[in-house]
Structure 1
Amino acid sequence: MHPRPGALHVSELTSIAVREGDLVIPTDLDTLFDVEGRQSGKVDGRVVLARDNKTVLFYPDKPFVPGDNVTVQLRPGLRVRRSDNGREEEAGGHEWQFHIRGKTESISEEEIWSLMYGRQLNESEQEADKKPSPMDRYRTLPTWSAKWRPSAEGEKAALEGRKADIGTGDEELYFFGVRGRAGESLIATRQGDLVWWTSEGKLGGGMFGVTPNGHLAHWDQLLNDTADTVYLLNATYQVVDRYVMGHGYQVDRHSITFDNDNSVVTAYTRINALNRTIHTVVQVQDADKNVLMEWRTVDDFRGGADPMLPDAPWDGGDVYHTNNAERTPDGNVIVSVHNANLLVLLSGKTGQILWRMGGHTSDFTFIGEDMDPPFVGQHHAQQLADGNILMYDNGSRSGMRAGRPSRALELSLDLNKMTATKVWSFPHPNKKTSTCCGGVQKVDNGEGNPPTMLIGWGSTGPFFTEVTYDDNPTIIREFEGFRGHRPLLHSWEGFSTERPRLLLCSDANTQASGGQPSIARLQDWTMHFSFNGVTGISKWRLYIGADSDVPLSRHLMERSKTAFEEIVTLQELVDTMAARNMTLTTKSDANVTDVALYVRVVPVKGDSELLRPSKALKVPLVVSSRDEESGAVSVSPPLSAVPCRCYQPDIGLREHLGRPKPERESPVVDMAAIRECAGACADSDKCKTFFFFEDTGECEMDEKKHESHQELHSLGGVVSGLSACVQEELA
């Protein structure tokens, strides 16, 4: 039952739940509860039978009075059907009390994330992020978006052909991850090619892979929500459901896991305004968001059972920092208490602690070298199908003067002898130690193929590492460039309700080569196209026309998809036109000095499925010569630069999410209009950031310099940028 008998500091918004254990016969449930508060008086409410047909909940009509003492009487009359003999029996007849918390202070997202990420990176880690990446040329993503590349270990693995020996089955798996505190979530192929990228802004993005029902679990805060929310996205990345904590708690971004229709979510709370200690709440919810079970550290972490360590970080009182909670194969719940070096196993039926592992209140004896202490500051603890415990052992945590190398760690349990034996581990060859974040997954590669281990190293990087699962693990693939949180591999098929993104730029080739800026040659100009979130694209087809109504009957060129973003120079475009005997022509007016070409691209999925085409990109060209008889012209590139590094595509303000969509979309991508908006911002004394809305042509100027990106959010059809960048280009 919850709240527990004698529970203190209970939320004033709590529901009351009882579960006898067998199936409930749903008759006369409305008369079961008699609830009365010493200050609240008699409390009316509604009674609900949860989807499990075992849990009966009472929802008060109004919040309890802070500081109230509440008495619950469960009258006789709860009828259940026994699972062992099928008999119908009567249960009930219980009475218990609990105490409502006093005035509390909420815990802000900024406070929690500052506790997590309030550590400076050392110089070597900062330098690792600055190394060049092939993704530096991308322009259909913001220039500040997450970028990565194979690490030295990853390149070595590729040269030695280690991946060739690892079977991955018939089902393609995709990598799901987040970029630490930057507020970015991403999906990539197992080989490291980006598939989907999005920015949620604020202090940290979160994405926890695919649910058993095939939805994408994603953290964000949309306009209609006042706090962080877990959204379930469908295959086109549209919201189809949302999850918040019950009982008025603010959902925590660390963890949400799903077990069929149920979810396990966590929250942080303070028990009152005077006590600075931060406690944890773990809830199991059903699909109707009923709280089937609630566990709170304040109930169990008392006196000699308090696992708080002497060197626990008291900055903010985050001594019970919980970073994940998830179902075990047998229906219980395992919880990782980071700052106590502790794992707790909760009964999935009662919420009572079944055992503790680690820290100074451990029930286990540990066997194996390097097991004193057995693990420190761990993340992503989980129980495997064989009963073993797998975790990312950080080897250190905030407040420790020294640590040991982080590692993936697997333990075998003997519950009769209460021993935990190390059976597998993998520290990084570079002996990295991460005080924050990280995770590990045992990857099922399909029938007949050995499993592998996927490791995310948290605050030190690398981004992710995949290793063999054997006595002498070797790296199969590894990518670096930023630090992520919990890595996951899932099957996924992504689609999109948007169009492919297509841009014209003058700075990508120059920046990649490190040369002096030049726009004088056709090869200096590049067209960039991608289709964010869509899987299975095998190739692209490019079409041209004399106006925005580009015919799609015959493509000019076709190229295999090689990366998230494809790049074609104007020189390649003009050369291909010449090879196909296609010419640009103008009217007989000899004074014509410029001509426009329009380009569209169409992605091809699989062998021949044509997906949605892009808008038409207007490519303005300068006439350098003209054949008087045929009207055919030779062309040079545009005269004005288009510095796409200053233009961030599909990035607006969070408040822009509420703008009504235009009735009609513009059929054209006009880089000149974007450049004009950016120039107007650069010429203004007040404008710090511009936002250009492609479908309406509106140019919005903002006096705030959104350099930290925390108020920015992914939004299709908007191009934004900083005035300072444009001014630098114009200087």
Structure 2
Amino acid sequence: MPTLGCAKSGSRRGRPRRRLSTVSRWAPLVASALAAALTLALAASANAPSGAAPACVPATLNTSAARAGGAVTVSPAPETMDASYVTQISFLGVPAAEITNVQVVGSRSGSHPGRLAAYSQGDGASFLPSTPFAQGELVSVHAALRNGDSTTPFGWHFTIAEVDAVSRSLETPPPPPPPPRQSELQHFVSRPDLKPPTVTLTANSGAHAPGDVLLAPYAGPGQYGPMILDGAGRLIWFKPLPAGARAANLRVQEYDGRPVLTWWQDPLVTAGRRDAGVVIADSSYRDIAIIRAGNRYQPDLHAFEITPQGTALTTVYDAIRCNLRAHGGPANGAVADTLLQELDLKTGLVRFEWHSLDHVALADSYMPLRPGGGPTAPWDYFHINSIESEQDGHLLVDSRNTSAAYEIDKRSGQIVWRLGGKRSSFTMGPGARPAWQHDAEQQPDGTITPHRRSIHNHAGSPSASTCNI
């Protein structure tokens, strides 16, 4: 195996001190939030399913999703145990007209009629069942690929997850901040309704890249919402969100050949829906598109990347029931099923879906299972926090809680290599081992840079570094 090295950008030997006045001011709020969470947890525990949860990991990990001789990539993946009960069935890689004779049968719900809806890119289609599946049932799919006068039959099966409805009931917005001091808010004579938090630039090394600073504060004093500052910290633009809403991951991207702003928002109330979504706004700050995750999931705040093909990659966290007895957890357990989707931005269809549970073993996690792992506190064993399209067409996926980055073959969904973690594909040189890292990126020269942000490595010493691989 090749040996990799990295260059540290800095480290810290101790925790920063916190001012007593700040802690004292927030103490009543923290106590109130903890009391509310405990009340909800106790109430939820009373309603939690009492029987053992099903398995959530396939018998064989990293199974290929390529079918029909590799011509078609299918989702949900073959053998997966964690498909959504309202999943569409994705066929990626051939024109929609070549996909024929689709038959879908649930082991309990029976035959599912539906229709094929083509992707706007012209390279596939999703079968949209007319009725939901039953949670926990086995679903069999058979189809054929037409090639001139001949057809190639293919098929696979997958299992529908059992939703952990208890933990979902705990997904409430954070409590409101304490009353702010006047110095903590910005005020504008022409817009007295705007009260964004004050931002103070305390240091400037001069080494930062030119341009504006994009933020989306959702904790502390002031109104929450996406905001843009200039290099001196002066406010350029701010969009206040309704009380109880929050935004994250504000960034500049390109959509339909023009620059846009995108940000994640929860809740995003529009068209009769109140779940999380992503806003796309034009250069005049007007909303031009609202993007939702497919298969009735909610997009997560970590990643939303628009591709040149008119698609978007987004992360999802979804709690499902899972028997964790083999890992020292409860039989009536639950995990955070972390996954990624590629969405067709014009149709909203799911072109590709990849679940960590299908490819990465639960035992690869560094995150302690206890005291969580139950219906009220699902085990976040993987914690996906970034996705990136690589130059060769593969996907780069970063996992905080396995301390590893993964290259994913988009055609098969299989892991090509692992960087870091318990089963790295590379021999890690001195100081090169990632730990709880975020935002793995491929640089123009092909190197991979996972960023480790002021957190503890597995030996327990705090550090902050960026490793160039």
Among 293, 307, 311, the alignment partner of 2:364 is 307
The equivalent of 1:69 in structure 2 is: 138
Shift of 1:348: 2.3
1:328 aligns with 2:390: yes
Please tell me whether the aligned partners of residues 201 and 232 of structure 2 are also in contact (alpha carbons under 8 angstroms): no
Aligned to 1:216: 261
* Distance in 1 of aligned mates of 2:253 and 2:151: 36
Q: In the alignment, is the contact (CA less than 8 A) between 2:279 and 2:289 conserved in 1? A: yes
1:230–1:242 contact (8 Å) kept in structure 2: yes
1:246 is aligned to 2:294: yes
Where structure 2 has 5 or more consecutive residues not aligned to the other structure, the ranges are 1-73, 323-331
SS in 1 for 2:219: helix
On the 8 A contact 1:110/1:203 being kept in 2, the answer is no
Q: Which has the larger radius of gyration?
A: 1
The 8 Å contact of residues 328 and 384 in structure 1, kept in 2 or not, is answered as no
SS of residue matched to 2:295: helix
Any conservation in 1 of the 2:367–2:402 contact (CA below 8 Å)?
no
Q: Please report how far the alpha carbon of residue 403 of structure 1 lies from its aligned counterpart in structure 2 after TM superposition.
A: 3.4
CA separation in 2, counterparts of 1:297 and 1:406? 26
* Cα distance in 1 between the residues matched to 2:412 and 2:81: 18
Shift in Å at residue 246 of structure 1? 0.9
Count of residues in Structure 1 that have an aligned counterpart in Structure 2: 365
Q: Deviations over 1:295-324 (max 9, x none)?
A: 111211236xx4212646754222222222
**How far, CA to CA, are the matches of 1:179 and 1:313 in structure 2?**
31
Partner residue of 1:263? 312
Which string of whole-angstrom CA distances, capped at 9 and with x for unpartnered residues, describes residues 268-308 of structure 1? Answer: 112228422212011011222221111111211236xx421
Q: Deviations over 1:146-172 (max 9, x none)?
A: 222231x32xx4xxxx57xx995xxxx
- For 2:183 and 2:302, the matched residues in 1 are separated by 31
Deviation at 1:40, TM superposition (A): 1.6
Higher helix share: 1
Provide closer, same or farther for how the CA distance between residues 167 and 354 of structure 1 changes in structure 2, counting only shifts above 3 A: closer
Paired with 2:122 and 2:166, the residues of 1 have a C-alpha distance of: 34
Alignment of 1:180-579 (within 5 A): 180-181=218-219, 183-200=224-241, 201-202=243-244, 204-213=246-255, 214-220=259-265, 221-223=268-270, 224-260=272-308, 261-272=310-321, 274-287=332-345, 288-302=347-361, 306-309=363-366, 311=368, 315=372, 316=377, 317-367=379-429, 369-371=430-432, 374-396=433-455, 402-407=460-465, 409-412=466-469
Q: How far off its partner does 1:210 sit?
A: 1.9
d(CA) in 1 for partners of 2:254, 2:142: 38
Q: If the length of structure 2 is used for normalisation, what is the TM-score?
A: 0.69
Preserved contact between residue 313 and residue 319 of structure 1 (Cα < 8 Å): no
State percent identity of aligned pairs.
Answer: 20
In 2, distance between residues paired with 1:112 and 1:314? 21
CA–CA distance in structure 2, aligned partners of residues 70 and 181 of structure 1: 43
Confirm or deny: 8 A CA contact 1:178 1:185 kept in the other structure: yes
Change (3 A) 1:277 1:147: same
Whether contact under 8 Å (2:342, 2:351) holds in the other structure is yes
8 A Cα contact 1:136 1:147, kept in partner: yes
Aligned-pair distance for 1:137? 6.3
Per the alignment, do residues 106 and 92 of structure 1 end up closer, same or farther by CA in structure 2, a change over 3 Å counting? farther
Q: Secondary structure, in 3 states, of the residue corresponding to 2:134? A: coil
**Structure 1 Cα separation of the partners of residues 240 and 306 of structure 2:** 24
Q: 1:9 to 1:406 in 2, by over 3 A?
A: same
- Contact kept? 1:34, 1:73, Cα under 8 Å: yes
Q: Does 1:93 align with 2:165?
A: no
- C-alpha distance in 2 between matches for 1:381 and 1:112: 29
**Structure 2 Cα separation of the partners of residues 130 and 46 of structure 1:** 57
Partner Cα separation in structure 2 for residue 113 and residue 358 of structure 1:
34
Q: What amino acid sits opposite 1:145 in the alignment? A: P
- Deviation digits for residues 236-274 of structure 1, max 9, x if unmatched? 322211111111112212221111211011111122284
Deviations 1:75-96 (A, max 9, x none): 3x423xxxxxxxx685531121
Aligned partner of 2:247: which letter? G
Q: CA deviation at 1:47?
A: 1.0
* Shift in Å, 1:42: 1.5
Does 2:212 correspond to 1:174? Answer: yes
- Give the TM-score normalised by structure 1: 0.46
Change (3 A) 1:27 1:325: closer
Structure 2 CA distance for aligned equivalents of residues 379 and 141 of structure 1: 38
* Gap runs ≥5 in structure 1: 80-87, 118-128, 413-731
